[in-house]
Structure 1
Amino acid sequence: MMSNVELQSGRSAMWLEAGEGGESVARFLLRNGKALDALSERLRSSPPKLVITCARGSSDHAATYGKYLIETLLGLPVASAAPSVTSVFSTEFQQTDALLIAISQSGRSPDLLSTVERYKAAGAYVVALVNDESSPLATMADYLLPLCAGAETSVAATKSFIASMAGLAAIAGWWSDDARLRDALDRLPTLLDMAYELDWTPLVGALANASNLFIIGRGYGLSIAQEAALKLKETCGLHAEGFSSAEVRHGPMAIIEEGFPVIAFATSDMSGDDVRAAATEFADRGADVLLADCRAGTSSALPTLTSHALLEPILLIQSFYAAAERLARARGLDPDQPPYLRKVTETR
């Protein structure tokens, strides 16, 4: 059954909303420039010894991206909070001066809120990246960075995920005072619009009748391998698993055989080298490998754009979203209304 947006425009809400990724990032940067200045000054003057991320679903995949950014640019350890520690086990935390970065589209999931509440009570400084500025999470934050993605009606999060990734890149770029990264962020909205128009139809044809596949990335690209796998489950009814190109060699690759589909996201930096190597290894075993290679650009099997290597995963997932929407349709599914799912998941 087609959604109202789909009937009115000929496009699903997922397609339209994902296409607003560039606009969302532009709004985020315009709205939060002064706030990022103030936040980075605070973090440099009173640096935390530990960063903790708190998120679920797609937002947690963005948090993985943030982990790599903060650890590589600032040398600070980043850990992921387990929300059930507070919501199920009612744990009270010891005093800490950690920075807690909470990421959410809705800002309303009870287990996320209970985690933020307990960490804040223990002395953590809370920064919230949240799309709904009226949400409880926005109210709880010591520092609010609105995602500015606008209304997102499709169950599949797209533009809010892109805005979350850009927001984390902005935090890391401002905090580390990385002028090159900040300049690249200014150009990101235009590149996102271009990435959405790239022709990834080979992915649609290769996966139209698939049952299982692997998606691999590494470093900054691991987060989008996880995110792409989730989106294929949600919108296409397709069992996909996201792995690091290093981790996939520790057991999972044993099931790869002739014709097994693999999507590989390779950024232009050294972490992309290992993805390219793994893609070659899997192709030699007969796997049906679809490589999105930021070094190869438009000559890649799945064409890409080259940018600052830290931002290339955002461009890759933007191109993927367009292909995933078309794949859902090719498989006879409505990408806006996956069975059994709701837009706001209120886990406890």
Structure 2
Amino acid sequence: MTEQQPGQHMAAEIAQQPAIFSGLIERRAEIAKVAEVVQQRKPRFVLFAARGSSDHAALYAKYLTEVLLQLPAGLVSPSTTTLYGGKPDLRDVLLVSVSQSGGSPDLLEVTQAARTQGALTVAVTNTSDSPLNAAAELSVDVGAGVEHAVAATKTYSATLLALYLLFDSIRGGNGEHAANLGDLAQSTLDTSTDAVTEAVRRYRFVDRVLTTGRGFSLPTALEAALKLAETSYLGARAYSGADLLHGPVAAVDGETAVLAVTSTGKGGDALHEVLDVVHGRGADVLAVGSAADKVSAALRIPVPETAEEVAPILEILPIQNLAHGLALARGGDPDSPRGLKKVTRTR
């Protein structure tokens, strides 16, 4: 029997993403049927319920909602339902519950309560027969397949794409900006290998990392910090580029590594000044994204240019490989980080 090598599951699941994207895009018509129901119900507000990596995907969908649909959106605090018994009036509200497993008790309770209170509920999960799917009125299957590594990779990116296809369909789009993401994902993985290897060498012994982004790229910065913390046990913190200048920049110095997610578009443009400031304070900046070559940085990992609204689906790919490489270089196993389980049950 072949001995399992550290990180082999995470590496394999990162590599599966281009094919998963292509398969999900082929199922766009299924997601469009869910979107049709949402269109008919004409929600005036959208709420998202999620935890962990799925919470970052939900934040991405919040941007999609406010920018593409021009509807107000928010992230729920599950404890207002599960601990405090809150029952707000949710008529004319769309609640989207995002969960890889669909098994978290708090998200299940929130979804059940929201449906009782009049919300149209949609579950976006990677487990089509989950309790969360059964509780929601509608569901979207992420279709990423079983994920063995504790750190979410393919389920995270596939959830982003599923959410994009859903909200693009709600606005009446045809998915054109996502059409070639399978090929672009493969190109991203192939062309970033050398830069990721150099970044692993450069940051192997770093203790403190700040991640930052603006707009659609902010969820990528948040997910990057989580991946680095859970796989390499780094002290990683994520900040919006705007918030970084409001105080945390005081802690930035020559001992600080800054991972900046910057893609072509308004969010990337807004990050230029921020990176000029942190670079000027001596921070070692790693820029990731399609606009990486346009900002002040010591090292860059370019990503193919896309419409800004789908950039996060590609941005995260080399960051996942960076987290994987750093974990191995630091003597860890990213498949099984200490103290973590694949499904975390909270209430």
Same fold (TM over 0.5): yes
The one-letter amino acid paired with 1:170 is L
**Cα 1:5–1:150, aligned 2, differ >3 Å: closer, same or farther?**
farther
Alpha-carbon distance in 1 for matches of 2:294, 2:74: 36
Query: What SS is found at the alignment partner of 1:39?
Result: helix
Q: Deviations over 1:204-246 (max 9, x none)?
A: 1232111111000010000010000001110001011111100
Q: Which runs of 5+ in 1 are unaligned?
A: none
Report how many residues are paired. Answer: 340
Query: Are residues 1:151 and 2:171 paired?
Result: no
Contact 1:220/1:310, CA 8 A, preserved across alignment: yes
**Cα 1:206–1:114, aligned 2, differ >3 Å: closer, same or farther?**
same
Query: Are residues 1:21 and 2:21 paired?
Result: no
Contact 2:41/2:92, CA 8 A, preserved across alignment: no
Query: Are residues 1:306 and 2:305 paired?
Result: yes
- The aligned residue for residue 177 of structure 2 is 184
- The aligned residue for residue 75 of structure 1 is 70
- Please state how far the C-alpha of 1:263 moved relative to its aligned partner: 0.7
Q: How do 1:186-335 and structure 2 match up within 5 A?
A: 186-197=179-190, 198-199=192-193, 200-295=196-291, 301-335=300-334
Q: Which runs of 5+ in 2 are unaligned?
A: none
Query: What SS is found at the alignment partner of 2:169?
Result: helix
Q: How do 1:57-206 and structure 2 match up within 5 A?
A: 57-179=52-174, 182-197=175-190, 198-199=192-193, 200-206=196-202
Query: What SS is found at the alignment partner of 2:145?
Result: coil
Query: Are residues 1:12 and 2:8 paired?
Result: yes
Query: What SS is found at the alignment partner of 1:54?
Result: strand
- Please state how far the C-alpha of 1:343 moved relative to its aligned partner: 0.2
Alpha-carbon distance in 1 for matches of 2:248, 2:292: 27
Alpha-carbon distance in 1 for matches of 2:185, 2:176: 15
Contact 2:293/2:300, CA 8 A, preserved across alignment: no
Identity %: 34
Contact 2:112/2:136, CA 8 A, preserved across alignment: no
Contact 1:298/1:304, CA 8 A, preserved across alignment: no
Alpha-carbon distance in 1 for matches of 2:231, 2:265: 30
The range that moved more, 190-199 or 318-327, is 190-199
Contact 1:297/1:305, CA 8 A, preserved across alignment: no
The one-letter amino acid paired with 2:319 is F
- Please state how far the C-alpha of 1:316 moved relative to its aligned partner: 1.1
Q: Deviations over 1:53-94 (max 9, x none)?
A: 000000000001001111001110111111111221222232
The normalised TM-score by structure 1 is 0.93
Alpha-carbon distance in 2 for matches of 1:194, 1:298: 20
**Cα 1:129–1:44, aligned 2, differ >3 Å: closer, same or farther?**
same
- Please state how far the C-alpha of 1:36 moved relative to its aligned partner: 2.5
Contact 1:202/1:302, CA 8 A, preserved across alignment: no
The normalised TM-score by structure 2 is 0.93
**Cα 1:237–1:141, aligned 2, differ >3 Å: closer, same or farther?**
same
Contact 2:220/2:316, CA 8 A, preserved across alignment: yes
For the aligned residue pairs, the C-alpha RMSD in angstroms reads 1.8
Alpha-carbon distance in 2 for matches of 1:296, 1:334: 29
**Cα 1:149–1:140, aligned 2, differ >3 Å: closer, same or farther?**
same
Alpha-carbon distance in 2 for matches of 1:12, 1:89: 42
- The aligned residue for residue 36 of structure 2 is 41
Alpha-carbon distance in 1 for matches of 2:291, 2:223: 22
Alpha-carbon distance in 2 for matches of 1:28, 1:293: 23
Alpha-carbon distance in 1 for matches of 2:22, 2:87: 39
Alpha-carbon distance in 2 for matches of 1:28, 1:195: 18
The one-letter amino acid paired with 1:306 is E
Alpha-carbon distance in 2 for matches of 1:107, 1:344: 9
The one-letter amino acid paired with 2:215 is G
- Please state how far the C-alpha of 1:4 moved relative to its aligned partner: 5.4
Query: What SS is found at the alignment partner of 1:103?
Result: strand
